[in-house]
Amino acid sequence: MITVKSNESTAPPAWARLQREAITRMNEAAVTFVERYTDPDGTLIWRDEWPGMDGSDDGYESFGTFPLFYALGGSSQVHALSRKQWDAVTRQFTQYGQVHREFDAYYDWMHHGESNQYLYYFGLADPGVRIDRERTLRFAAMYMGDDPDAENWDAAQRLIRSPINGSRGPRFRMTAEDWVTHRPVLANYLSPYEDVPGTGADKDPMALADWNDDVIFEAVLERMNARMASGDVPLNLTATSLITHAYLYTGDEKYRQWVLDYLDAWRERSEANDGIIPDNVGPSGRIGECMDGKWWGGYYGWRWPHGSFSILEPLLIAGSNALLLTGDRSHLDLVRDQFARLWELGKYENDVFVVPARHGDAGWFDYRPPNPRYLIHLYYLTGDKRDRELPSQFPGFENWPEEGGFGKGGQYAPNPWSAFAGGMHADYPERVMKDTLKEVERRLEVMRTDSGDPAEFDVHHWQNINPVVCEPLLQLSMGSPGVIYHGGLCHARVRHFDPAEDRAGLPENVAALVSHLTQDSVDLELVNLDAVETREVVVQAGAFGEHLFTCGETCEESSNSLFEDDRGIGSFRALLEPSSRLRLRLSMRLFAGSPGYASPWDAP
């Protein structure tokens, strides 16, 4: 392995000190969080029963950042806790009835995606854990026609047979009990259909359906079972992450081919629908088969409950998975085409550019400003100027969010990071690490003052308090916009390993900053804050080794060439003297490597 050495002694910059402080604080806070809210066996201190099909995803989400944090440089103690908590949540929600054979018995892929990210991060944390690999292949079999107890896949039609699916197979008929815990939440959403009596949705497409009203709920459930429960929906494309996860463990061609075949099936359906992806396909593969021929109105579709968000996100996830597996950016054309169609329908309201978020019987409605998160991810993956130009239509998208950067599950807004990686916001690294420390302390304070009765806790209670909020660390150290929350994989420009400890993540007292990105280069700064010990770090091209380095030079006025290899190398070793930093400009070929979970010293 090529070795480069630091040649610049320096006092550690402020961002590096703050980065290491944030890692130390989250190491401590994770232990405090688990001790506060779980029994000695790891199960949540909560209630004895939890009915319905909803909830296990929230249990997994409450600890889901732990293995990612370890993969970034968190402690081995946090790594051990991450595995203990996954097992504990699985046992607890098996007892409640939501989990069967260690996987959700039946639910949709928005929620499967949320809980499965925990599993995906195990591959980054330590791919050598045999039980993780075995579980992954067993879960993948449930969606590839290889599990007779979970017949979710129709190979002939290339479709997942129901929007509600899992380890018990497709669920073609939902019951009142399935939705019992979610009725109060969905009472605040618009009616799934215009013809639900008592809602007024036939006159106002945004009219609510009060799921707490038994008469309205019965009418909604009857229509959902008739129209939504059978056949495929775009949301199911999020399952491609599970199958890609299996490929990253094995390199088996059957997993890659399944992802490509399933995405191609939806591309063909879009082409057959004048370029707009339909949100429902019947059991025979016909668009609108259960919806009186309408291409809209499906489960988590263009109309209900969230609109375009539930279409664009799984398309982006599936396209990025296919790109990872093939290196072919054209797999993102399908989601780009949907963005373009919405932009064509856009207009200005009070000098603000808005696009339709929903489509129903009366056409497009619910116009709102576009969410730049998905556009940032798309441009990050493609580097296509077309994808960079779309968000420029609403000025200020690159600014810091006024309402604060952190969201559900510790997500951090990618807008200012994207601007920083492109040459703006020079103070971003220091500022975002201060934000991270502030958010950790805020969550710990919520924990300290949390005097409620655990039996009355909402199922989302713990995920909003989990103090391991490591997405800013992912942005800075690996050059990533973050992870698409509802089931995306972790796409990044570089990744770090500690060869002395034979593990993933930054070594102790080492900080890393990706300070600039182009489509063929990355500027990387490595800092050793230890004043006594030399530190060694291995830098890999891409989160999964999917990229290749072709050239490395120092970022100085008179730069020095460190290595050059036209064929490309997957990783290199950096030796960092005490109190030193190494600033590199690395030329790269993106998506030119063979993706997998193997560490740089184990990879072929």
Q: Tens digits of per-residue pLDDT, 506-543?
A: 999 999 999 999 999 999 999 999 999 999 999 999 99
**Percent of the residues in the chain that have a pLDDT greater than 70, as a whole number:** 97
Q: What number of other Cβ atoms are within 10 A of residue 184's Cβ? A: 11
Q: Are 467 and 443 in contact (CB under 8 A)?
A: yes
Judge whether residue 254 has pLDDT over 80: yes
Stretch 35-57: mean pLDDT = 97
Residue 476 backbone phi and psi in degrees, to 5? -70, -50
Judge whether residue 147 has pLDDT over 70: yes
Cα 464-470-471 angle, rounded to 5 deg: 95
- Work out whether strand 347-349 and strand 103-104 pair parallel, antiparallel, or are unpaired: unpaired
Cα 283-285-286 angle, rounded to 5 deg: 105
Judge whether residue 558 has pLDDT over 70: no
pLDDT per residue over 72-131, tens digit each? Answer: 999 999 999 999 999 999 999 999 999 999 999 999 999 999 999 999 999 999 999 999
Q: Whole-model pTM above 0.85? A: yes
Stretch 565-594: mean pLDDT = 95
pLDDT per residue over 12-34, tens digit each? Answer: 999 999 999 999 999 999 999 99
- Side-by-side strand order, sheet with 347-349: 347-349, 352-360, 363-368
pLDDT at 603: 63
Q: Are 55 and 459 in contact (CB under 8 A)?
A: yes
Crossing angle for the helix pair 14-37 and 76-96, to the nearest 10 degrees:
40
Stretch 50-60: mean pLDDT = 96
* pLDDT band at residue 554 under the 50/70/90 scheme: confident
- 429's tokens: 């690294």
Question: Worst-scoring range by mean pLDDT, 390-404, 405-419, 422-436, 537-551?
Answer: 390-404
pLDDT at 557: 63
Altogether, the residues listed in the chain come to a count of 604
Judge whether residue 466 has pLDDT over 90: yes
Domain range list for the chain: 177-227
pLDDT at 351: 87
Q: Are 8 and 582 in contact (CB under 8 A)?
A: yes
Mean residue pLDDT across the chain? 95
pLDDT at 512: 98
- 539's tokens: 């830098």
* pLDDT band at residue 191 under the 50/70/90 scheme: very high
* pLDDT band at residue 403 under the 50/70/90 scheme: low
- Work out whether strand 3-5 and strand 571-576 pair parallel, antiparallel, or are unpaired: parallel
pLDDT at 387: 86
Q: Are 6 and 577 in contact (CB under 8 A)?
A: yes
Q: Give the integer Cα–Cα distance in Å for 409 and 402.
A: 19
DSSP letter at 406 equals B
Bridge partners of residue 587, in order along the sequence: 521, 551
Question: Worst-scoring range by mean pLDDT, 69-73, 375-379, 391-395?
Answer: 391-395
